[in-house]
Structure 1
Amino acid sequence: MLTPNFDESMSRVTNTTAHVRITHQSWPQGRIAGEVRASDYAWEFQWQFRQGQLQVQPSLGRALILEPLSRFLERSDYQLEPGGDYEFTVRAKL
């Protein structure tokens, strides 16, 4: 039985672009809210950045986007503005 080497496995990983729209931001409340879409999925999120809590609804497909969205928000939070459209890459096919 042949097993693929690491390089072959990694070359098969597909990426999905996730599109984020910020709908609300409040620095005094420590909250950013918005929408994220990837492939045929769509979610709404609220990020309480002072507490490090991210809520994503609906639950369908939430496990696929929760970690990548969290990393994106933590990396970009000071650059995000209400009404702004952003995108990031999810290293999976959704």
Structure 2
Amino acid sequence: MRTVRIRILPWHVFVGLYTYALAVATAETGLLEKLTFLQTQRNVSKHSIESMVVNSLGIALALLSGFVILAAVSPKYQMLNSTLFYSDTRCLSS
């Protein structure tokens, strides 16, 4: 059972990050669509306050998601190299 978990962990991380990236792409597409509709229906200029807010929100979302993905794949935060020894009552880490 333990070896199956160890073998599936990289795929689990990949699928989770892939799903997260798709959610961020969906949010960015929604922001772009909202801005496009604002500019076509109400004649909002490209340099108006609303356009700047939506663009800033999109950039902030992209940067935040980049930091989250970087932290998830960073080797500093991964504990794959530590071995675990199981006793009858508790788990001991070496």
Q: TM-score, normalised by structure 1?
A: 0.21
Higher relative contact order (CA 8 A, sep 6+): 1
**Higher share of residues assigned helix:** 2
